[in-house]
Structure 1
Amino acid sequence: MTQNLPNINNPHSFHIELITGDASFRKYYRVTANKQSYILMVSPPELINNEPFIELNTLFNQANFKVPKILAVNSEQGYLLIEDLGSTHFADCLGKGNECELYQQAIDLLPQIAILPPSPAMKPYDAKFIDLELEIFNEWLVQSFCKIEMDVGAEKNWQQVKQQLINALEMQPKVTMHRDYHSRNLMLSNEQWAIIDYQDAVQGPLTYDLVSLTKDCYQVLPQALRGSLIKYGFAQYEKAGLTGGLTFTDFEMLYTLTGIQRHLKAAGIFCRLSLRDGKQGYLPHVLDTLHYVIVACEEVANAFPVLGYFAEWLQTTVQPQLEAKL
């Protein structure tokens, strides 16, 4: 790849350092040469399809989003040389009393993402796929991590919970969603918010990205701030004509149900990363993620009793086992 590095007279005169990877099989290296730096993404093609990363980069770039420029690609080896956006994530900018303003800036991008056209690189986000995501929780957190086997009653409730959540996601207006839009996937680059980890974007439920941002597994917001941001997000979507006639009450309910689905999946993924991939850095976030699920289920229990029963089962059966393991 060195021949594709700009301004290198001597292809051996550069420095490479491993930087933090993500939750996938990818690894990232910072390459420095002639006082310029680049990011080398190593993404094994036998494990990861790299085409969505490339194709969706074009999609976001053409819509004037700041995404890392792709400078060179070696498809056979799974090497991608990309622009270095620096090291300042959205999360690094918090804690200075300006949280509301920063979150509003991040929310302002969501309607623009939502109207991106569908791409062949986007996987179908349908009932089958949503069910598959939910089963990550059962397989990896409940069974593999906590060593819990559901009895007949719990299994029946689980199937009802899944169907309720699938219905809630499928009934929403369909938009383009980033699908992992949170404090670690926005970066401040040249005083502009840059979007990374966009390769899993799909056409899916309207509220999903707002949930990802304001019910972040890594940044737990005060309830009052989150409430105001949900209202702000709804107003921005409504202004963009994307709400499909939903009232704010409807939107807020769907937001809550979507959060349950996302956080069940996320909690399962954190356990999978530990058990399968040997990545332990995500385990400290499992309890907060499960707490989101329990609280949300309790909030909507009057409207959806199956979720109330599920919350009780999580608190009495799963949470104690999880706490003991952690």
Structure 2
Amino acid sequence: MLTDQHRLALGRLLAAQGFPQEMQAADRMAGDGSDRQFYRFAVGDFSLLAVLPSTGQPQGMAEARAAHAIGCHFFTHGVPVPRIYGFAEECGLILCEDLGDTKLHDLLLLHGAEGEEAEEAEAYYHQALAALAHLQTETRRGFQPEWCWDTPRYDRALMLTRESGYFRKALCEDFLGMSDLPQGLDQEFAFLAERAMQEPADFILHRDFQSRNLMICEGKVRIIDFQGARLGPLGYDLASLLIDPYAGLSPPRQQALLCFYLDALATHIPLDRGRFIEGYYYMTLQRNLQILGAFAFLSKNRGKDFFRQFINPAAATLYEHLDAPQGRDFPSLRAVVEQARTLLEAVV
């Protein structure tokens, strides 16, 4: 809730920006997986957002400082993120632009992701991919790894603990009660991480670039939830959007959007398309494992049942990717996914 300290900080930030001081009642907004608090309020003719750090997480203040620093950096470099009007260092409150309530996912629910009625969504996907290519490449100038509250780089340790390890613990063991997992599973996870580490990783990674973190405001795509940005490979964010279980894009649609992204990326950097596509397969597997671990954890441990409905589609996507020729290197993972899909039919 907004405490007296928060209200004092808001008043100071509003005054510094020349906003009217008569703040109307603040309405708390629902978040997705985040424990941060979001309050919408009006001052004069302006609708603004106050973002408070998580009180239940020990690094809540560090996350808030990252959101402020990275958000300002992105905005300065022309990335379509919300404008940040001020930051209260003493309590972690961020005052920023209100982008409304419409997510790209909302439009997909309304019009669908495929077919004749999906033309509007197609245009927004193109906007998002062009913005992603710009973010990943052009914001490297001046980006400070010390801003990153979690880890400064997407690396092997993160893959093994927070993605493949997350999948094993949160989905297989805790959510589905699977035991006696194949002995070769950890070796396959290590191989996957080593292969993913071969991708150039001196780009800027959003880390959760999907349809619920893309707002539609006045006909433009705007990017939110960027506080986890760090250095990393290009393909991960692309995979986040294209295999996004909220959207359920068909493989042909994913392929078409992949081609659009590569065209956009080639306007920023020299690009070996063949190498990118080869490495993209492994980034997709990594992201898929992370999604399944996160959705299982949020459903079971945080009581956020919204995510439960997307576990089955995400498992189906992982199974389909393992059916590709490169999937022959992951027989243990494939066996686990087959068993998980059977169990999921009974619990999801």
Given the two structures, how large is their TM-score scaled by the length of structure 1?
0.89
Aligned to 1:71: 85
Say if 2:27 and 2:39, in contact at 8 Å, map to a contact too: yes
* Residue 292 (1) aligns with residue 317 (2): yes
**Number of residue equivalences:** 315
Deviation for aligned residue 1:242: 4.5
* Residue 97 (1) aligns with residue 118 (2): yes
Cα separation, 1, equivalents of 2:270 and 2:235: 11
Deviation for aligned residue 1:127: 0.8
Cα separation, 2, equivalents of 1:236 and 1:160: 36
Say if 2:133 and 2:264, in contact at 8 Å, map to a contact too: yes
Aligned to 1:310: 333
Cα separation, 2, equivalents of 1:164 and 1:235: 30
Deviation for aligned residue 1:182: 1.4
* Residue 173 (1) aligns with residue 200 (2): yes
Say if 1:25 and 1:47, in contact at 8 Å, map to a contact too: no
Aligned to 2:52: 42
* Residue 51 (1) aligns with residue 65 (2): yes
Match of 2:134 among 101, 112, 121: 112
Deviates more, 1:115-124 or 1:223-232: 115-124
Say if 1:257 and 1:296, in contact at 8 Å, map to a contact too: no
The residue identity in structure 2 corresponding to 1:74 is A
CA RMSD across the alignment: 2.1
Deviation for aligned residue 1:239: 3.8
Unaligned runs of 5+ in 2: 1-6, 112-116
For the structure 1 residues 267 and 199, does the alpha-carbon distance in structure 2 shift closer, same or farther, using more than 3 Å as the test? Answer: same
- Map of 1:185-264 to 2, 5 A cutoff? 185-243=213-271, 245-247=272-274, 250-264=275-289
Cα separation, 2, equivalents of 1:274 and 1:92: 21
Identity of aligned residues (%): 23
Say if 1:104 and 1:229, in contact at 8 Å, map to a contact too: yes
Cα separation, 1, equivalents of 2:51 and 2:134: 27
Aligned to 1:88: 102
* Residue 163 (1) aligns with residue 193 (2): no
The residue identity in structure 1 corresponding to 2:27 is E
| Post-superposition CA distance 1:195-248 (Å, at most 9, x none) | 1111111211221111111111210112221111112222332343253x351x
| Post-superposition CA distance 1:75-104 (Å, at most 9, x none) | 343322221111222223442331333222
1:28 aligns to what SS in structure 2? strand
Cα separation, 2, equivalents of 1:144 and 1:131: 17
Given the two structures, how large is their TM-score scaled by the length of structure 2?
0.84
2:305 aligns to what SS in structure 1? coil
Say if 2:37 and 2:54, in contact at 8 Å, map to a contact too: no
Deviation for aligned residue 1:186: 1.5
- Map of 1:136-151 to 2, 5 A cutoff? 136-151=166-181
- Give the helix-richer structure, 1 or 2: 2
Say if 1:89 and 1:183, in contact at 8 Å, map to a contact too: yes
The residue identity in structure 1 corresponding to 2:322 is C
For the structure 1 residues 26 and 297, does the alpha-carbon distance in structure 2 shift closer, same or farther, using more than 3 Å as the test? Answer: same
Cα separation, 1, equivalents of 2:280 and 2:79: 25
Deviation for aligned residue 1:111: 2.0
Aligned to 2:41: 31
